[in-house]
Every structure is written in structure tokens, then in C-alpha cells.
Amino acid sequence: MPEDGRALEIELRVNGQSRRLGVEGSTTLLDALRDRLHLTGTKKGCDLGQCGACTVLLDGQRVVSCLTLAAQADGRDVITIEGIAPEGQLHPVQAAFIEHDAFQCGYCTPGQIMSAVALIQEGRATSDEEIREHMSGNLCRCGAYTNIVAAVRDAAAKMA
């Protein structure tokens, strides 16, 4: 908070909609999304930036939202799992995750999908090894990694 005790006023473009909020300086983007904007698809996992469950796109780049301050996102575009398929249809990555059974408990799935969307957009899904390398920041405790790689490979081919 500023020294006078007032909240910081920020404006985020979340999933295409402008949202104004008052936040404390220490509020993370994750907490702003979940607690203030009620977008609970982005998961709070380790809260240390190590598991990837909170991955969102910030100006098209993937970030772990638990380590990103909400104030750092002021005036920027944020895409969450709720915003990757705005027409109500599944995004190709979501469809591929279903087709390849690339999730078990589902807790890591939103972060996995957001990372996959970004790496495909970055052109980094050209081989299984490259997919594994660029998805390595997203942990899956259930061990669905083989299916996740297959889903990303399939989605990348369909999106090409």
C-alpha cells in the first residue's frame, strides 16, 4: 500500500475485459485473479513459482502468477484458462488434453494447458524433446507426462 494507506488502483485487461481494482502492493496476480476477480481456474499450488499450476499469459508470455505482483500487470493483457476459448468452444489444446487423457486429478491441468498454448504460439513444439523441455516448469503429481506431450504434439499439429 502507498504510505497513506490507500490501495493501489490498477487496471488489467483480463480475458479481453478491462477490470479496475484496488490492491495492496504485495498482492500477487494469482490472488487478484482468484480472490478479487473470482477466476478460480488458475490454481494455487506451491505458491513459490516451482509447480506451474498458476501459469497465465501476460501480454502473450507465460508467467507464474504467484510470483507476479498484480501491480506489475497494470495496463497489460492477462489471459487465464477461462479466456483461451472465448466463444465457448474448446481450445485445440483443451480438446487434445481430453483426447489424449492428459490429466488425472486435473489440478495442474489449467497451468499445463496455458503453458502448452504459449509454447505452441512460440513455435517451440517441434519435437517431443522440445515439448518436454519447455513444459518442464509445470509439474504433474499424477505423472501424466507422456499423455501431456502427446496432447501438445497433437494440438500443435492441428494449430499449424
Give the chain's largest Cα–Cα span.
Answer: 53
> What pLDDT digit, counting tens, does each position of 25-82 carry?
999 999 999 999 999 999 999 999 999 999 999 999 999 999 999 999 999 999 999 9
> What is the pTM (predicted TM-score) of this model?
0.93
CA-CA distance, 151 to 160, in Å (whole number)?
A: 14
Pick the CATH number of 92-159 from 3.30.70.270, 1.10.150.120, 3.30.230.10, 3.40.190.10: 1.10.150.120
> What pLDDT digit, counting tens, does each position of 105-128 carry?
999 999 999 999 999 999 999 999
Percent of the chain with pLDDT over 90: 92
Q: Residue 1's pLDDT band (boundaries 50, 70, 90)? A: very low
Write down the H helix ranges in the chain: 29-31, 92-99, 109-121, 128-134, 145-159
Q: How many CB atoms lie within 10 A of CB 59?
A: 12
| Contacts for 63-69: CB closer than 8 Å, 24+ residues apart | 63/29, 64/137, 65/28, 65/29, 65/30, 65/33, 66/28, 66/29, 66/30, 67/28, 68/28, 68/29, 68/30, 69/25, 69/26, 69/27, 69/28, 69/29
The CATH 3.10.20.30 portion of the chain extends over 8-83
Pick the CATH number of 8-83 from 3.10.20.30, 3.40.50.2300, 3.40.50.12280, 3.30.110.40: 3.10.20.30
Cell of 129: 524433446
